[in-house]
Chains A and B, each alone.
Chain A
Amino acid sequence: AQSVAQPEDQVNVAEGNPLTVKCTYSVSGNPYLFWYVQYPNRGLQFLLKYITGDNLVKGSYGFEAEFNKSQTSFHLKKPSALVSDSALYFCAVRDPNTGFQKLVFGTGTRLLVSP
């Protein structure tokens, strides 16, 4: 069965500094990977996905993610953090053995960007 691990419960970064939110995955077959963001009292919002192709995927709000097959990782990155990026971030992997988007989510990483 597929799984996703987000090893950090919280990441702290100062505004203007680069940020990285880590994600590793385990899946049999080609991984389909996603990042979502959740703001307080709201549902999740899609940021980006990796299906195939370039290992560096660009998404919404200036975020990008790097797919690394050898390290089974899909870390979320942003060159310059904003206070407004503070939120809960979820990595997810799709079961490649179904023709349906059945996602398995990580436990989430809280990003706190200080002014």
Chain B
Amino acid sequence: NAGVTQTPKFRILKIGQSMTLQCTQDMNHNYMYWYRQDPGMGLKLIYYSVGAGITDKGEVPNGYNVSRSTTEDFPLRLELAAPSQTSVYFCASSARRDSNSNQPQHFGDGTRLSIL
């Protein structure tokens, strides 16, 4: 049971380059999320999705874009990489059981991204 899979695990980018962080889940979860984790700052929500074709901005969306064409996949795109985007990125998913939806989030192991 793979759960949430993120690729790549590590990446170094030059300023101005673009890349896509991949995330896929095999649990048929409706909800998916992208977070960034910076030292001493906890996790900040970048974007989220409540289902295929539906995405919305989180707390820190600037400089990022997402798409959700399938239930399984939720890629995160950086168009013009900046040093401030150096971080560890986590993808997560959770099930929708009821209208309140307090199911646990399942996390991938992260992508460590450095922008130089």
Q: B-contacting residues of A (Cβ < 8 Å)?
A: 9, 32, 34, 36, 41-46, 49, 51, 90, 94, 99-103, 105-108
A100 and B31 contact, Cβ closer than 8 Å, known pairs A43-B109, A105-B43: yes
A102 and B45 contact, Cβ closer than 8 Å, known pairs A42-B109, A43-B108, A107-B40: yes
The answer to whether A43 and B110 have CB atoms under 8 Å apart is: yes
A103 and B42 contact, Cβ closer than 8 Å, known pairs A43-B92, A44-B90: no
* Count of B interface residues, CB-CB < 8 Å: 26
Chain A binder among B11-19, B70-78, B79-87, B97-105: B97-105
The answer to whether B43 and A90 have CB atoms under 8 Å apart is: yes
Contact for A99 among B40, B99, B110, CB less than 8 A: B99
The answer to whether A43 and B41 have CB atoms under 8 Å apart is: no
- Top 3 A-B pairs ranked by shortest CB distance? A43-B107, A46-B104, A105-B42
**Contact residues in B for A99 (Cβ distance below 8 Å):** 99-101
